[in-house]
Structure 1
């Protein structure tokens, strides 16, 4: 299997890190610290993953959740696998704050959108990389995010 990231995810996100079995993406919306974990699998539903793949995805979700909680103002973490618009298996981990423009409602399809400046994306990536180093989380490669077209 050759892994191919869904074009919607590729267009809407910055790639923060990659491992042999997944990608960590940052949704390009400054209003919400929102990281998407994309397992490199052909399966589109969580229950179709092997037990080992499910456990690995939960571990990644825990890593990203802890990172978001430590580095962003956050009253609640939202973790979801929806996939109505993008059927490729992916897991959303979103740091929500009582001060965000959608609180307490959902963030799906919101009109509140503001792209990240590239320097802020790089700063988030560096913090994530440092977090992984401190926690001795290995196997992830951090490469410079690609500039998004305006």
Structure 2
């Protein structure tokens, strides 16, 4: 499975529209080579460089298995949002206090539809998908505090 974005290259800066203090819009994401027997997809975006440990920006699950594009600033129909570390059930973009931070987008192809309540956390999601991941993919973008 492959995860990419027309908005930024892997390892390169995220566009300014993604920032929490700007438009706070998620980048467009593209999925390729999703296994045929996938029942649902899940997505996590987090920042491992946050001062108090990894900061979760976006959590989604039960994304329909035929979704190949997650459009800029949108949540796919049918997807269930989890609670991020801002306390919201939506995408919230980069807002690093200092320096350059890395933001990881991880997509998971799952062999089941998840029975997980809206507003559950990344930790809840990771427990639920354990043993059910058919494939995964990762994309990383950076964002600097001075932007």
Q: Which TM-score tier does this pair reach, normalised by the shorter chain?
A: under 0.3
Between structures 1 and 2, the one with greater helix share: 1
Between structures 1 and 2, the one with greater strand share: 2
Q: TM-score, normalised by structure 2?
A: 0.27
Q: TM-score, normalised by structure 1?
A: 0.27
